[in-house]
Chain A
């Protein structure tokens, strides 16, 4: 009989505010094989992990079940703890009661608690049948593919090349640089972006490790961490690149506020990128009005794009540098100049006479053309009165929105996006810049609108993480491979046909023909298991007995409770 320990996580309020955790613990104690059941405020915290470790040793556990979040992010952590406590890491089973329970049944605490109990029981019944496993290794192609040649992609590529890793940079445009080449200075330090671009390019240009593909698009991706095959379309020519890791640095684009505040109709209403172009040509208008949050923080696009306030502050100061007599007004809903350097920019702008007027979504600002100039009518929330401001140029500070083709990238790489089309990393705190899919990484504004400095931090982080498997030269293959039970196998060959990797063959063993699985080739899909008519084929960690036990457990706990 197994000696199982069950640990239920509160995840702060995330689980415990919906699921009655202590009730689930009490229930878990009644399950077969469970010698101890307990709960932790955060199982994944240092404290939670050491409590689990201590319990494994004290209670001489040989199976561990953690009911918390998703195995897609936290399984490796808990497996490691099992290993540290002296039991094989494959004797661990994860039960998801957050993503698949508390978060999606937030208004039904009673039924959610009952469901959590049944899920825990299913996990416990599977755990009892788990067996220790040994892992195998696979080689890694020492090459990285970076998709996107903006600041994020360039920084990541330069970092990878500096680490002596063959790096392919795939850029859809005819030149490298992305938004960096459309912005002349970078706040808060007012550095010239050209210099940054040049220094990044010089790191790449001289290196035989850097391969830049312009006017190229991602076409197809196959494979796994360490052994991807990335197909790109390089202006009409198809190119297949074997790669160990892939970095997504596709950036974002400026929202075009067609029809808003006369954009596209009234001459003089422009976006931030239009203004950047004017300023780079040394043109600074005499009277400028910035309108913040155009197309963001409103129904349909609720998010704050984070960089627009700072960009307006930067450009207000640049206008004043070029044209000290200029009048600059920033019409905003809240100035989000987060962090010390940006706050300093806000202070400087105020000191130099930039006028800040606060408006509310309920009282929209109007822009019209009158007597050769633009008239901005704004209802100032602080003064509670309508103010008219004349302007030569009205800058509409619009949010960054996801790239139109981010959906294609998402599909090809099988990585998720949020409802606005930005990519979702595996876990914002535990696995930043990584996707849940091993070997695929994310950085820059494709993830969320970010300042140049933030983009560079993320790019360096993504490059560092991508370099890990490449530098190690090998990846551990999870022990979820298949095997055939020689007593049941009739060597019919169904599994051979079912395997997409040619990992199964019919071989002779002890004078008998049976199916034999090559572990290095097996990717653990389990197609052979379902194809086997004799129940001889089994997948490690997903045996027919283990899954059967889960079904029996659900039948017992859901249906017998009904009776």
Chain B
């Protein structure tokens, strides 16, 4: 049997984490090809519904990456993200989904290496968890 390759969705804010991902690319930092980035303007615009929609349809993990607290391009957007996603994690836990399938982290535009680290770690973590159990339910 081939090794389980998780499918991961990432939301990156335009100003910090998307730029951090670009920097990782420019710096040719290698990482596993499981993560698919959706660009949003601010992590505060990421609806909990997006993560729930993805995970309920069988996506193995969701990353939400914003600017570091205090560095938000929109001043306090990421404060909302920081409060919102632990609640979504709790929700996942309540319905029997491992909450670590959803990870919130901060990557600045200057942190290509941090982006690489977060992606590599998260892919490893999700691999350890195995396939999303909801995948079976979906089809």
Residues of chain A touching chain B, judged by Cβ–Cβ distance below 8 Å, are 70-72, 96, 98-101, 103-108, 111-112, 114-115, 118-119, 122, 222, 410-411, 414-419, 424, 436-437, 480, 498, 500-501, 523-527, 529-531, 539, 542, 544, 547-548, 550-552, 554-555, 558-560, 563
- Considering only residues 31-51 of chain B, those with a C-beta below 8 Å from chain A are 31-33, 36-42, 44-50
Q: Are A99 and B75 in contact (CB under 8 A)?
A: no
Residue from B5, B18, B25, B45 in contact with A542 in the complex, judged by beta carbons closer than 8 Å:
B45
Given contacts A480-B41, A544-B49, contact A525 B30 (CB under 8 A): no
- List 14 A-B residue pairs with CB atoms under 8 Å apart, sorted by A's residue number: A104-B28, A122-B38, A410-B110, A414-B71, A414-B73, A415-B109, A416-B110, A526-B41, A527-B74, A544-B49, A551-B59, A554-B9, A554-B54, A559-B59
Using Cβ atoms and an 8 Å threshold, which residues of chain B touch A539? 41, 45
Asked whether, in the complex, the Cβ of B7 is within 8 Å of the Cβ of A558, the reply is yes
- Whether the pair A530, B109 counts as a contact (CB closer than 8 A) is no
B12 smallest CB distance to A (angstroms): 9
How far is B116's CA from A106's CA once the two chains are assembled, in angstroms?
A: 14
Asked whether B29 is an interface residue with its Cβ less than 8 Å from the other chain, the reply is yes
Q: Which of B24, B53, B54, B109 gathers most chain A CB within 10 Å?
A: B109
Q: How far is the CA of A550 from the CA of B10 in the complex (A)?
A: 11
Chain B residue at smallest Cβ distance from A524: B41
Nearest A residue to B116 via CB reads A104
Nearest-neighbour CB distance to chain A for B103, whole angstroms, equals: 17
Give the chain B neighbours of A480 by CB distance below 8 A.
41
In the complex the two chains form, what is the Cα distance from A2 to B30 in whole Å? Answer: 36
Verify B25–A104 contact, CB threshold 8 A: yes
Asked if B77 is an interface residue, CB under 8 A from chain A, the answer is: yes
Please, which residues of chain A bring their CB within 8 A of the CB of B58?
555, 559
B59 cross-chain contacts in A, Cβ below 8 A: 551, 554-555, 558-559
The reply to whether A526 and B44 contact each other, CB–CB distance below 8 Å, is: yes
| A100 engages B37 (CB within 8 Å) | yes
The chain A residue with its CB closest to the CB of B62 is A551
Closest CB-CB distance, A345 to chain B, in whole Å? Answer: 34
Residue of chain B at shortest CB distance from A224: B73
- For the complex, is B63 an interface residue (Cβ under 8 Å from A)? no
CB of A530 within 8 A of CB of B84, answer yes
Given contacts A96-B37, A525-B42, A555-B54, contact A416 B23 (CB under 8 A): yes
Are the CB atoms of A99 and B36 closer together than 8 Å? no
Pick the contact of B16 from A106, A414, A527 — CB < 8 Å? A414
CA A203 to CA B86, docked complex, whole Å: 57
Q: A411-B110, A436-B22, A527-B44 are in contact. List 11 more A-B contacts (CB 8 A).
A: A72-B18, A106-B28, A107-B30, A111-B5, A115-B33, A222-B75, A414-B15, A414-B67, A436-B19, A524-B41, A551-B54
Binding site for A on B (CB under 8 A): 5, 7, 9, 14-16, 18-33, 36-42, 44-50, 53-54, 57-59, 67, 71, 73-77, 80, 84, 108-110, 112, 116, 135, 138-139
Asked whether B24 lies within 8 Å of A99 as measured between CB atoms, the reply is yes
Complex contact B139–A563 (CB within 8 A): yes
Q: Find chain A residues with CB under 8 A from B57 CB.
A: 551-552, 555, 559
Among A98, A106, A480, A542, which residue has the most Cβ atoms of chain B within 10 A? Answer: A542
- Bound: A122/B139 CA distance, A: 20
Q: List the A side residues contacting B44 at CB < 8 Å.
A: 498, 525-527, 530
Q: Are B74 and A525 in contact (CB under 8 A)?
A: yes
Asked if A115 contacts B28 (CB within 8 A), the reply is: no
Find chain A residues with CB under 8 A from B110 CB: 410-411, 415-417
- Residues of B near A96 (CB, < 8 A) are 22, 37
Contact of B36 among A108, A118, A411, A552 (CB under 8 A): A118
Q: How far is the CA of A415 from the CA of B74 in the complex (A)?
A: 15
Q: Smallest CB–CB gap between A230 and chain B, Å?
A: 15
Check if B30 sits within 8 Å of A105, measured CB to CB: yes
Q: Which residue of A lies closest to B13 (CB)?
A: A525
Query: Nearest Cβ in chain A — how far from B38, in angstroms?
Result: 5
In the assembled complex, the Cα of A279 lies from the Cα of B138 at a distance in Å of: 78
- Residues of the B chain whose Cβ atoms lie less than 8 Å from the Cβ of A554: 7, 9, 36, 54, 59
Q: Which 10 pairs across A and B sit closest by C-beta, in order of nearness?
A: A526-B45, A99-B25, A525-B74, A558-B7, A527-B44, A525-B42, A103-B25, A111-B33, A416-B110, A555-B57
* Distance between Cα atoms of A563 and B58 in the complex (Å): 12
**Contact: A542 with B40, CB < 8 Å?**
yes
Q: Which residues of B contact A437 (CB under 8 A)?
A: 15
**B-chain residues with CB within 8 Å of residue A118 when the two chains form the complex:** 36
Given the interface contacts A414-B108, A548-B50, A548-B53, does A527 sit within 8 Å of B45 by beta carbon?
yes
> Given A424-B23, A542-B40, A551-B57, does the pair A527, B77 have CB atoms closer than 8 Å?
yes
The CA of A436 and the CA of B109, in the complex, are separated in Å by 10
Query: Which A residues touch B108, using CB under 8 A?
Result: 411, 414
Establish whether residues B28 and A72, one from each chain, have CB atoms under 8 Å apart when the complex forms: no
Are A99 and B21 also in contact (CB < 8 A) when A104-B29, A554-B7 are?
A: yes
B40 cross-chain contacts in A, Cβ below 8 A:
526, 542, 547
